[in-house]
Amino acid sequence: MFLTLEGIDGCGKTTQAHLLVERLRETEKSCGGVVWTKEPGGWPGGEKIRDLVLRDGLEHPLSELFLFLADRCEHVLQVIAPALKEGKIVICERYTDSTLAYQSWGRGLPLEKIEELFRWCGFPSPDKTIWIDLPAPAAYHRMAGRGRMDRLEEEGTVFLEKVRSGFSFLAERDRGRIVRIDGEKDISGISAEILDTVLAFLHQ
């Protein structure tokens, strides 16, 4: 099973991904294992691309897009596809929906072109996607409390709200796959809802 977690910066994805991995490792002992990974940078050597794409310096939205795609090609080839082949549950923080929400809604690149590139790259589709939805001001407030921000985080609430509307569109369009979770609830409430959704899907 290939599961992705999505949402704007500061929505609580990383905390929730770790809680989910922990719970699944306890409850799903009979499966082939649970692999946690993330984008960008979730493959050996991937930190270099992560650094390049999140630090200052890029000005062209297409350079940003192609770096995320290059990162994903290696990530799929070296980490995701082998783990899925071995029957493991793969939990990935950010994947194709982030590219659509950030690079299309956020940067204005055409959705259909990006999706055409996904098909050309042969990226596997997630079986289930959890979208942790949080309004941009609340997410921004959380990030500001954490200290230094990266290039995309510094874009501010207007940008994040555009990205959020991208996730909202995708959740409506792909409603069989994407499940919206209210990110304004407390950590344990969100975690329980995510676990219920995932277990229901795993044991259907």
Q: What does the binding site for ligand TMP look like in residue numbers (CB under 6 A)?
A: 9, 38-40, 54, 68, 94, 98-99, 102-103, 152-153
* Angle, alpha carbons 123-76-22 (nearest 5°): 115
By beta-carbon proximity to ligand TMP, the closer residue of 32 and 110 is 110
CB 160, min distance to ligand TMP, A: 9
Decide whether 99 or 191 has the Cβ nearer to ligand TMP.
99
Tell me how far, at minimum, the Cβ of 15 lies from ligand TMP, in Å. Answer: 12
> Which is nearer to ligand TMP, 64 or 128 (by Cβ)?
64
CB of 152 or CB of 192, closer to ligand TMP: 152
Q: Between residues 86 and 113, which has the closer beta carbon with respect to ligand TMP? A: 113
Beta pairing class for 128-133 and 89-93: unpaired
The DSSP string of 80-129 is IHHHHHTT-EEEEES-HHHIIIIIIIIT---HHHHHHHHHHHTPPPPSEE
Smallest gap from Cβ 182 to ligand TMP, in A, equals: 19
Torsion, Cα of 24, 10, 97, 114 (10° steps): -150
Only one residue has tokens 């940078």, namely 41
Smallest distance, Å, CB 57 to ligand TMP? Answer: 15
Q: Which residues are paired to 179 by β-bridges? A: 130
Rounded least distance, CB 139 to ligand TMP, Å: 11
Place of tokens 């990162």: 71
- The residue nearest ligand TMP at its CB is 102
